[in-house]
Amino acid sequence: MTKNGGLLADALVHLKPLMDDERISDDARRRLSQPNRVVEVEIPLRMDDGSLKVFTGWRSLYDNTRGPGKGGIRFHPNVTGDEVAALSFWMAVKCAVVDLPFGGAKGGICVDPKQLSRLELERLSRGYIRALLDVIGPDRDIPAPDVNTNETIMGWMADEYRQAAGRHQRGVITGKPPGHGGSLGRTAATGRGALQVLNIWERRRGRADQRPRIAVQGFGNAGFHFARLAHDAGYRVVAIADSRGAIYREEGLDPLPIWERKHESSELSGQVYCEETVCSEVEVDKLTNEELLALDVDVLVLAALENAITEKNVDAIRAPTILEIANGPINNAADRKLAERDVTVIPDVLANSGGVIVSHLEWVQNRMGDYWSEDEIERRLAERLGEQADLVFERAIAEDESLRSAAYRQGIERIAMAMDGLGTERYFCGDTGP
Ligand SMILES: NC(=O)C1=CN([C@@H]2O[C@H](COP(=O)(O)OP(=O)(O)OC[C@H]3O[C@@H](n4cnc5c(N)ncnc54)[C@H](O)[C@@H]3O)[C@@H](O)[C@H]2O)C=CC1
Ligand SMILES: O=C(O)CCC(=O)C(=O)O
């Protein structure tokens, strides 16, 4: 699990400052230093042309002390066991930061889904679940969407589990389509939560009314909904990037028509406004991804993948505030340099927790067999996230530490407290079951 630049090792560096914290026992430190288990599976896929391909997939359960494992499934050609393990560590910390009764898990398949037909994608998604039937479950480990997976894929996966179990087990997966046990509000939840966290921070800094200029790297589920809601809330979204490049407009961009056009042409281009039959396109400048990262904006939003900012490009960053919607978008070397320059980083384990908070609400609704309105989901999301973000911000200010450090302390202390809750002297020799 060392490929991909040792992502897990880089992620675990955040545990080091907690080593002297007397609230974290030696036992807890030791148990938190590696994943509980990482399962690797080979998934045979019958292609439409009759040939057979075999794809490798993983599911990592980092820790399940506070509850069943929870975390998304990623389909990407660069997925490795090391990446999935690192993502499961971040999930464990995140669920504890916002006080959800879940541990941390994550899964993935090394595949470029754009090379598959829809039927091949469905067979692969179902094959992944069949291969992992023994490790997932509503009280064991509960997957959800992540990069290149969506509610349709979650629906196929939940249906495969239902067929294998011989009964409905809605709570096995979250992020499902409404009508199949999905919750209203889950699709936009990550972006909505990230905007709420940014708003709270901006209010604390007395900058709430200043219409900050923002640039957004990553225009998928998380980045798009964030940009759309931020635009509606009065922020000026001046730049947007996806994996192919970026667009920029100083007066601001309207993310919704850009998203609609991207889905017609697969490219980012200027927004189009139509009145009756007359349509006009707004001119935009094209930028590279690196140029977007270096823009002199108030807030740089990272909503793509890990390691967007490393020691190689950190010196070019000019934004005073960075919002991490992606998991692990800044490596440790870059994080240290940003801290030296007093750049505020609102960390992933808090900023992107809106998704898993609404996943928890979906799981609760599945267990109740009754469903809430979208307003009720948004109210519950705002309540939990508001309370937990305030705790992190107050701790950071009181202890004069970075927001990342304060968030990690909040999460790791809660996990350690649960680990020690049964007594540090209890007989413990591995705990891979539910
Ligand atoms: N979907 C969710 O509910 C949650 C997602 N996240 C994290 O947010 C990030 C994005 O996830 P999703 O939006 O769900 O994925 P997605 O697959 O919907 O979108 C990913 C976006 O990133 C873009 N991208 C990829 N490489 C890029 C690059 N080098 N430069 C610029 N853009 C690039 C893609 O073109 C796409 O627009 C990931 O790190 C994910 O783990 C975190 C919490 C929850
Ligand atoms: O909704 C979930 O369970 C997890 C979402 C996720 O993968 C993440 O927060 O990184």
**Interval between CA 59 and ligand 2 midpoint (Å):** 13
The pLDDT tens digits of the residues spanning 115-174 come to 999 999 999 999 999 999 999 999 999 999 999 999 999 999 999 999 999 999 999 999
Determine the residue type at 127: G
Where does 249-395 show beta strands of DSSP type E? 272-275, 278-281, 285-287, 299-302, 321-324, 344-346
If 0-12 CB within 10 Å is exposed, 13-18 middle and 19+ buried, where does residue 398 land?
exposed
Residue at 274: amino acid letter: C
Instruction: Point out the ligand nearest to the CA of residue 329.
Output: 1
* Ligand 1 surroundings by CB, under 6 angstroms: 145-148, 190, 217-223, 241-243, 289, 303-305, 325-327, 352, 355
Ligand nearest to the CA of 363: 2
Q: How far apart are CA 13 and CA 335, in angstroms?
A: 11
The residues spanned by each domain of the chain are: 7-170, 189-351
Set 3, 16, 53, 106: catalytic member: 106
Residue-wise pLDDT tens digits, 283-293:
889 999 999 99
Q: What is the pLDDT of residues 67-104, one digit of tens each?
A: 999 999 999 999 999 999 999 999 999 999 999 999 99
Task: With cut-offs at 50, 70 and 90, classify the pLDDT of residue 422.
Answer: confident
Q: Using a 6 Å cutoff on CB, does residue 185 contact ligand 2? A: no
Instruction: Give the nearest ligand 2 atom to 189 CA.
Output: 1
What value, to the nearest 5°, has the Cα angle with vertex 364 and ends 154 and 34?
70
Residue of the nearest CA to atom 43 in ligand 1?
352
Same fold, 7-170 and 189-351: yes
What is the bridge-based pairing of β-strands 272-275 and 245-248? Answer: unpaired
ipTM: 0.99
Q: Does ligand 2 lie within 6 Å of residue 191's CB atom?
A: no
Nearest-CA residue for atom 30 of ligand 1: 243
- With tokens 């409905």, the residue in question is 168
Closest protein CA for atom 36 of ligand 1: 220
Which of the ligands is closest to the CA of residue 73?
2
pLDDT surpasses 50 at 3? no
- Amino acid symbol at 162: R
The mean predicted confidence, pLDDT, of the chain is 92
Give the separation between CA 335 and CA 317, rounded to whole angstroms: 12
106 catalytic per annotation:
yes
Q: Rg (Cα) of the chain, in Å, rounded?
A: 21
CATH superfamily of 189-351: NAD(P)-binding Rossmann-like Domain (3.40.50.720)
169-183 per-position pLDDT tens digit: 999 999 999 999 999
CA of 143 to the centre of ligand 2 (A): 8
2 has a pLDDT exceeding 80:
no
Please report, in range form, the residues annotated as the binding site for NAD(+). 190, 221
Q: Is 394 helix (H, G, I), strand (E, B) or coil?
A: helix
CA nearest to 216, candidates 259, 280, 185 = 259
Confidence of residue 17 (pLDDT cuts 50, 70, 90): confident
Six token digits for residue 271 = 């927004």
- The rounded percent of the chain whose pLDDT value lies above 90 is 82
CATH superfamily of this structure's domain 7-170: Leucine Dehydrogenase, chain A, domain 1 (3.40.50.10860)
Nearest-CA residue for ligand 2 atom 1 is 356
Instruction: Give the whole-angstrom CA distance, residue 250 versus residue 230.
Output: 16
Distance CA 261, CA 242 (A): 13
pLDDT at 20: 75
DSSP single-letter state for residue 145: E
State whether the beta carbon of 187 lies less than 6 angstroms from ligand 2: no
Nearest to 30 by CA among 298, 416, 418, 297: 416
Per-residue tokens: 432:
């891979």
Strands (E), 264-411: 272-275, 278-281, 285-287, 299-302, 321-324, 344-346
* Beta strands, E only, 149-271: 213-217, 236-242, 245-248
- Known binding-site residues for substrate equal 70, 94, 359
With tokens 């304060």, the residue in question is 406
Q: Which two tokens stand for residue 123?
A: 């067979």
E-assigned strand segments in 243-335: 245-248, 272-275, 278-281, 285-287, 299-302, 321-324
**Residue of the nearest CA to atom 4 in ligand 2?**
71
Q: Is the pTM of this model over 0.90?
A: yes
Pick the atom of ligand 2 nearest to 72's CA.
7
Q: Which two tokens stand for residue 69?
A: 């494992």
Query: In 3-state terms, what secondary structure has residue 387?
Result: helix
How far does residue 147's CA lie from ligand 1's centre (Å)?
A: 5
Residue 264 has a pLDDT of 75
Interatomic CA distance for residues 75 and 152, integer angstroms: 14
